[in-house]
Structure 1
């Protein structure tokens, strides 16, 4: 029996990992252990660990580390505390393999703890670039601590190999989020509107905005520009979801909640929609606006225009349905107007998604189940000739 520990620290990350967790649970020779932490455990971020329990997935370790995520000190304190508590949890679980997704600081701390505990790591979504966030550095550092790599595109696979990883351990498998689009039963237009507290057929924009941690602007200035732009589209309601647990995230969420309370006719604020409702909301939106990776990775497979704002996702491969713009309100307005034109909506409906590949979770499971972990754990640096 092989024990695989899956780490999740955010609602978005769990939504991506869920099909993989389900697939591993169906393997008779695999024992799945879930380590849940970060914003999942924080009431200020919706206590989304409950969504995992409601899905019927067992939470084996629930580790609270999130301190005051509104400040840089809160983030690095959570990182240090996380490394200690994740190490303790990994020693209790004693997994044969740890699975991590992405580039968050929580995942970096878990990877560091696993490295000290000599637990091999499988990493998803390595090789990507996000110049506008400190997550870029965490992602590449996790790559160097990991032993198996599941990239979402061929370009990202090449970059992982460029970082010195063995090509035999690096696979381009597509994105789990796109697999969700294909497999999750989405709500129809009317049920989506009901759950979003909208009138039937009311046009709306779906917005998510996280702090761009390497932007020259403060989180407050970034949000001001976005809200100024959204206010211009008076015929659309704005459905907005909460920011993540980066420095500045709590301030953004507080202001969004206040905006929705003051202007209930125009704004709906949800700390977390969950995977099914989020994808349904994106499917029926006029456009998806903000700086979340979902607008670049998943939304193109729904045939809906995306407006990606500022530098946070700069460097990612993107579909033709994604419009990139600067952080000032005038450029955001211009980009949203373009996204709402019939011509661009037709383009988005036909655009190919570079993250879309069949059988993503099945390919990952095959490697997680069959790999010789002892041989794999002896890493060398692969020099490109």
Structure 2
């Protein structure tokens, strides 16, 4: 069986790394196409998951528009999808690479397996353009790997055949547990600045990158972080996303502020290390919503809605939007005691076996083309 995995961003590599390893272990011939959406952010991930790139896209980040990026990735995928070249294409999530890869495969009659299928907010403009992308991928897909029962229900309501949906958990948990195993035995962070962070303050990790927050909403969030830094008992740590618009806003608002550390993009094991030390997280990241419960962390989600409502239902997440008062009150509540307020509940997104289940399901449909017809 020949499988092509397509990814382009840091979260995709993290979440497809375990799938790549599981498919290899199952005996598949696995090729990898990397579009290069996130170049700086991908540092160290290919080595961590022992991924061998076979095809690399070019010029994606030089395209100024989303439409241009989509067209270029589609063209580059098209060049790889000749007759009988692959039995299936695996994509993950809701990125431009996933959507373009799924469309190119669909138009070439190559079955698509969608990892993390069925997430929905119900609003095409939030998050944008991710909600559109994930719906497009659903239409193009043959196999749908839903992380939760709620995601499965979304797919069923949209008319997807039940026998083509598998509830497997989220591979983010697989990746996190794999990376956490690397921390055992006295991990020394790769980034020296992280290794030297003071331990006499309560660490609050922040990650901000959503397009819909750029502008006034992000300013409100950053003002909240600045106010929290002035409390004196907390250390706000923010790895700054390379998006130039986001970086400019962050540096302008938080540069040289007390008790705030702006870091360059982190290697994944360093990020997991910071999670393990955090008291709470202020984030608009979907991946962090999936990862934080493994550590028992309660987090503040700086969005108006989430396609991962399970994190809220399980008590790990609180939607605060860009409301300055809600953010500062939430962080102060979660740092008010003498120790982090961790929850003992299990992670609602899985048990770390999602990749194994995905590989088994793909191999159960041999060839995949039969399921597509």
What TM-score, normalized by structure 1, do the two folds share?
A: 0.85
Runs of 4+ in 1 over 4 A off after TM superposition: 192-195, 257-261
Distance 1:140 1:238 in 2: 36
1:201-350 matches, cutoff 5 A: 201-213=200-212, 219-234=214-229, 235-243=233-241, 249-257=243-251, 262-263=256-257, 266-271=260-265, 273-311=266-304, 313=306, 316-318=309-311, 319-342=314-337, 345-346=340-341, 348-350=342-344
- Write the mapping of 1:156-195 to structure 2, written as runs, cut at 5 A: 156-184=151-179, 185=181, 187=183, 191-192=188-189
| Residue 104 of structure 1: aligned partner | 95
Which of 42, 45, 48 is equivalent to 1:48?
42
Residues 1:55 and 1:351: Cα distance change in structure 2 (over 3 Å): closer
TM-aligned CA deviation for residue 66 of structure 1: 2.4
Change (3 A) 1:201 1:275: same
1:315–1:53 distance in 2 versus 1, CA, 3 Å: closer
Q: What is aligned with 1:63?
A: 57
Q: CA deviation at 1:212?
A: 4.2
How far did 1:345 drift? Answer: 4.5
C-alpha displacement at 1:371, in angstroms?
A: 0.7
Q: Deviations over 1:300-321 (max 9, x none)?
A: 1111121101226356321302
CA displacement at 1:268 relative to structure 2 = 2.6
- In the alignment, is the contact (CA less than 8 A) between 1:121 and 1:148 conserved in 2? yes
CA drift of 1:241 comes to 2.4
Asked whether the 8 Å contact 2:147–2:167 carries over to 1, the reply is yes
Partner SS for 1:228: helix
Q: Which moved more, 1:315-324 or 1:221-230?
A: 315-324
DSSP-derived class of the 1:262 partner? coil
- Tell me the distance in 1 between the aligned counterparts of 2:183 and 2:211: 31
Shift of 1:206: 1.0
Scaled by the length of structure 2, the TM-score of the pair is 0.87
Counterpart check, 1:114 vs 2:96: no
Q: CA-atom RMSD, angstroms?
A: 2.7
Q: Which residue of the partner structure matches residue 116 of structure 2?
A: 125
5+ residue gaps, structure 1 = 379-385
Matched residues, number: 359
Change (3 A) 1:34 1:315: closer
Match of 1:356 among 336, 340, 350: 350
Shift of 1:123: 0.3
**3-state DSSP class of the match of 1:256?**
helix
Q: 2:2: which partner in 1?
A: 3
Provide the rounded CA distance (Å) in 1 between the counterparts of 2:222 and 2:17: 32
